[in-house]
Chain A
Amino acid sequence: MNRWRLPILVLAALILVTAAGCVAPTAPASEMPEEEMMEQVSSGGVTLPEDAAPADKQVFRSAGIEGKHFDTMRNEYEGFAFEATIEQLAKMGPEGDWHPAAADSWEQSEDGRTWTFHLRQDAMWSDGTPVTAEDWVYSFRRYLDPEMSNVYAWFLFDLENGEAYNKGEVDVEELGVKLIDDYTFSLTTKVPIPYYMFKINWHAAPVPRHMVEEHGEDWANDPATAPSNGPYRIAEWNRGQNVIFTPNPYYTGRYPATFEQKIQVIIPEVAAPLLQMYQAGDIDGGVGVTGDDLVQVLADPQLSKEAYISVMNRGVYLYLNQRTAPFDDILVRQALGHAVDRTALCDNVMRGTCIPAHGFLPKDFPCERNDDPELIAYQNYDPEKAADLMAQAGYPGGEGFPEMVLYTKEGEFIREAEAIQRMLADNLGIKLTPQNIERADYVARMANAELKIALNRWGADFIDPSNFVDWWDDPAASYFTGWTDEEYRNLIDTARPMQMSAERCDLYHEAIKILSRDAIGVFVMNPVQAVLYKDYVSGLTLTDDGTLGVYNMMLLDSAYITE
């Protein structure tokens, strides 16, 4: 609803988590003389580096909005998703590489459709019950169980019979989720999906079957009945205030807890001044800031040292409803594409808090080739060309072009909309009035194709280009514009099942070029964000060039507090 509202979910992903990739295992105490026993071992069993603060200081505080319950596999409305408590099958490193976590190993079948996971055999829930393959199978099936009414169920519709089972058309046995033995299970997809690891490790988490069976849906409302399989367990949920995590005493996995306590401070959905909370020292990090807050961070000598800056995996573009006039006309759309001065917008208006985009893939995303001059030429800033195209379309100088509302959602990108409105007025002579509407309203009206033009955004669910291109011509997608194209469909259908390679990227790049060429969307920018961590938070897992990486699920695994 306003600028204080920050991209909390992305943060949640960054903040969470487990332990100790690069930290040495505990040295046997007996080998050293008493006096030299200076080194500190965390409750989770990690030997902390020498500069670590004493145990009572090993507390990490971050912030997020309140969830409804702890059941991430029943996201009926809004669940807490704490990766601190959830050990997923595998973890993504900073370079997009996969590391064993709950699964010791996994393999893909010859036909590419079946993934078999071999689980870590000593895994236990934080109440001492073993975690078995049955728990995992149960969880995946439950996710799609028609009785659960899971609003995210579509996310796993690509499992064999996923949609049919969710609609109650086939039996659970038909679902592509199979138990092989106590510690092995498999997932089978309809078609080969090479990036499936990205997908299921983003969403899927096991639920404690024994608790669900004993307490029903209530299990997830109380920390006492919500054990975790991750390095931390939920110790307290003080509603409206915070959630407190402590090391899971039964955790035996690869990423043991370094902190003695992790706290998620609960903030309201609107109006909470997150940057000021961080500046005041009420939280230690994991705060992602954009817009004006980012401007301030960049200007502040201390804050800028604590900031990890990256281009977000988000594309911001003008949604154009192509079912009816005037945006069913490619000339009009192309005119818009050439009329937006992206450089002025990002460099001057937004003060470097975004980067100009001419195509849909965000900078540094797999297969991104945003420097391709051909791609840039489709939607470069060229007011004369824009005016020409507009005249060709029958609206010289904007004459006869209907006045419209340029919608924005929930206070996001209002400033961008205000600038774009002016650019289109100056360069094309068309009049748009920016208007902000609420999320529920926006989505409902978008689904009914009521909005003509909106400044929309797409954020990655998983790190694969298919996530950015698959839905444009899919009528079931929220942001379907009414446009379909056979050539485009062929390109993405061919590319999807391929293993990641230059050829695959070629195909995706062709698809991206079609989107820009025909101005299916007018691509404007990718937002930049700074994720802040206080300088006393040490040991973050970073990429080779010292950034946080795309979706670094190992970020805090070996982090600790220094003196």
Chain B
Amino acid sequence: MQDSEPRSDGPATRALAADFRSKPRNLWGDAARRFSRNLLAMISLGFVVLLFLVAIFANVLAPEGYDNQQYDQTWLFPSLEHPMGTDPFGRDVLTRIIYGARISLAVGFISNIVALAIGLPYGAAAAWYGGAIDYVLIRIIEIINSVPNLLLGILIITVLGTGFRNVLIVFAVTGWMGIARLVRGQFLSLREQDYVLAAICTGVPERRIIMRHLMPNSLSPIIVSVTLGIPGAILGEAGLSFLGIGINPPLPSWGRMLNDYLSAVQSHWYLAFFPGLMIALTMYAFTLMGDGLQEALDPTK
């Protein structure tokens, strides 16, 4: 993916171009074109979109309710009627997987949105104001960061109790620092760019500089980071479930399903296999998509 344009067409000139010219070729258009040429990334994107559709329309797609306990058909191996078998409660595993997509994606998505909502302004403020404010904000991150995430998670759950909402809180609390750091780093480097300095000198309002110049140009690493943060939270939820401190039953999440039945893997392999497979595929898709985005959004390529 060699760029035929001259090297001088770096982020600065592009942004300027975006600002002052009409837009025959802007960053996003280029990125979309590059992304669409990456087969793996496109397949992954397709999978992720499909997953979101499944999650949204779970109640339409699922053969039955997610807590439809039928005691006369428990522990059934996969068959035509139940393609992924039934669980110890006689619930259709496929149904649980479909609803599990909703819970697992919600955990991944919402927790990252919350992390973004905290991390973005936080990092921006640190970078923009600099000095003492920056120092204090960064020290706070350092302090929270120095407690291992798993432990912070356990501590939070122990104080708040298990359940969907509290799991979200865990990932939001442990996830925003990374984003804040990233944003701060981006802003700091962009701030020193000539076109931003020029904007500052010519008296462009602060707000406008941030919104028009800094934000758009830091967006790509943030998008990539969130894309990789979502599967991170899904995997993290599985980790919490392993410790018995995840989502409350009877709600299905892939992490909980995987852990609940890992102990039965030698006698009923399918119970842990399908949720495990879904976690892996989702991780795969988001990771490949993240990689694709990273490449596509990197203007030096």
Contact = CB atoms under 8 A, between A and B. Distances in A.
Q: Do chains A and B touch in the complex (CB under 8 A)?
A: yes
Interface of A: 1-4, 270-271, 291-293, 295-296, 299-300, 341, 344, 348-351, 410-411, 414-415, 417-419, 421-422, 433-438, 441
A410 B244 CA distance: 8
Given A292-B263, A422-B89, A436-B162, A1 B75 contact: no
Contacts of A438: 158
Interface residues of B, number: 28
B250 A4 contact: no
Interface string B34-65: 00000000000000000000000000000000
B71 A415 contact: no
B163 interface: yes
Given A292-B267, A348-B75, A421-B250, 7 more contacts: A270-B243, A348-B88, A348-B90, A351-B74, A415-B88, A435-B163, A437-B162
B89 A296 contact: no
Contact of A350 (B88, B158, B161, B261): B88
Given A299-B267, A419-B89, A435 B161 contact: yes
Q: Which of B161, B260, B266 has the most CB of A within 10 A?
A: B266
B88 A351 contact: yes
Interface in B90-146: 90
B67 interface: yes
A422 B88 contact: no
Which 3 residue pairs are nearest across A and B when measured between Cβ atoms? A344-B71, A292-B263, A418-B249
A1 B239 CA distance: 13
Given A1-B244, A436-B244, A349 B88 contact: yes
Contact of B259 (A2, A270, A441): A2
14 contacts: A292-B267, A293-B263, A295-B267, A295-B268, A296-B267, A299-B267, A349-B71, A349-B88, A349-B90, A350-B88, A422-B250, A435-B162, A436-B248, A437-B162
Contact of A341 (B71, B244, B260, B263): B71
Contacts of B261: 292
A350 B90 CA distance: 11
Contacts of A271: 242
B263 A414 contact: no
Contacts of B249: 414, 417-418, 421, 434
A348 B74 contact: yes
B120 to A, nearest CB: 33
Given A422-B69, A435-B163, A351 B75 contact: yes
Contacts of A341: 71
Interface in B65-79: 67, 69, 71-72, 74-75
B244 A2 contact: yes
Q: Which of A1, A3, A350 has the most CB of B within 10 A?
A: A3
B245 interface: yes
Nearest to B75: A351
Given A415-B88, A418-B250, A422-B89, A292 B71 contact: no
B291 to A, nearest CB: 33
Interface in B249-268: 249-250, 259-261, 263-264, 266-268
Interface in B205-246: 242-245
A438 B158 CA distance: 8
Contacts of B260: 414-415
A363 to B, nearest CB: 22
Given A433-B248, A435-B161, A4 B263 contact: yes
Q: Which of B72, B90, B250, B263 has the most CB of A within 10 A?
A: B263
Q: Which of A300, A341, A349, A415 has the most CB of B within 10 A?
A: A349
Nearest to B88: A349
Contacts of A436: 162, 244-245, 248
Q: Which of B88, B90, B244, B259 has the most CB of A within 10 A?
A: B244
